[in-house]
Amino acid sequence: MSEIITRSPSDNEIPALKKLWNTVFGGTGIESFFRHFFNADLCVIADGTDSPAAMGYLLPVGDFVWDSKSYRCAMIYSVATLPAYRGRGMATAVTGRLINLARELAYPAVILCPSDDKLFEYYKSHTTLREWFYVNELIVKKAPADACTELLTEITANMYHLLREELLKGIVHVKQDLHILEYQAELCKELGGGLFRVGDSIAVVERQVDGRIWIKELLLPGDGANAFNSGYDISGIIASIASKFPASEYIVRSPSPIGKRRRFGMISFPDDPPVFSFDNESKPWFGMAFD
């Protein structure tokens, strides 16, 4: 098999990259993404016969905060290969180049959130990425209509950003940059949803194309200082969201133990990794991944 050559795109290849995105992911978020994030120097592609066949992006996302230390980090996002070119190692080559790019740009950490659970083992065996971030995920088939609802208020990305750090204080997490939350807010609007304050909690709400509601990040009071909230009744929160966003199913993600824990993201330290120590209840929190 011949070596896969990766490179940065030129600006006149943006239409081809948008077409690739649309083919693999559908049309959601294309224009918002390119407006917020596209930078040819942070994009890696592999060529097909006459246009890019695979792509991936390196997004500056914020600071990985641990104790009193913080490490600037970037996220590998939107790795995609056209169906006709899959199975040739193009996505692996693009991902490897993006990790090296993070090293060249002096990012201490680079993050990737696999789109499928099976990809964790693939990336672990083919790259320097390792399992790191977890979510607790609760699936609610029917909203508790008789629950005492919390006050639901839509808030700006800036307000969400401020409240998020208050609620995550003391937790090992990624302090996401404001522009990440601004992009997330645009995605929510495009899909039907938004950023909300729900009583003393905050939530990112999206309606998926299949009609389900994803509460992609639910942060509860008491989550901070690693005191993961195990006794908080979220039925009122779900009922409040359901009153504005009726659906047949709600998928809720939180650092609090509200459902089943599952792996969510991976991390690579391109150079020497810092020394971390986590007990079983203190898995680092990443948050939304634009999935």
Question: What percentage of the chain reaches a pLDDT higher than 90?
Answer: 65
Strand partners of residue 135 = 262
CA distances from 189 to 184, 202, 208, 231, 272 (A): 9, 17, 12, 32, 40
* Alpha carbon distance 255, 251 (integer Å): 14
Taking only the tens place, the pLDDT of each residue in 80-107 is 999 999 999 999 999 999 999 999 999 9
Q: 52, 13 in Cβ contact below 8 A?
A: yes
Taking only the tens place, the pLDDT of each residue in 170-206 is 888 999 999 999 999 999 999 899 999 999 999 999 9
Give the global pTM.
0.90
CB under 8 Å to 189, separation ≥6 — which residues?
none
Q: 196, 154 in Cβ contact below 8 A?
A: yes
The region of weakest confidence among 107-111, 201-205, 225-229 is 225-229
Amino acid of residue 142: K
Q: What is the per-residue burial (b if ≥16 Cβ within 10 Å, else e) of 10-39?
A: eeebeebbbebbeeeeeebbbebbeeebee
CB under 8 Å to 58, separation ≥6 — which residues?
42, 43, 44, 74, 75, 76, 77, 98, 101, 102, 105, 110
Q: Which of 124, 204, 131 is nearest to 164 (CA)?
A: 204
CATH class, 6-134+263-268 region: alpha beta
3-state SS class at 46: strand
Fold match flag (6-134+263-268 vs 135-260): yes
Mean pLDDT of the chain: 88
Angle at 6 between CA 5 and CA 11, to 5 degrees: 130
- What was the pLDDT predicted at 3? 82
- Whether residue 280 is predicted with pLDDT greater than 50 in this model: the reply is no
Helix, strand, coil abundance in the chain, percent, nearest 5: 30, 30, 40
The CATH homologous superfamily for domain 135-260 is Gcn5-related N-acetyltransferase (GNAT) (3.40.630.30)
Domain boundaries, the chain: 6-134+263-268, 135-260
Taking only the tens place, the pLDDT of each residue in 14-62 is 999 999 999 999 988 899 999 999 999 999 999 998 899 999 999 999 9
Element holding 196 (H helix, E strand): strand 193-198
Q: 27, 12 in Cβ contact below 8 A?
A: no
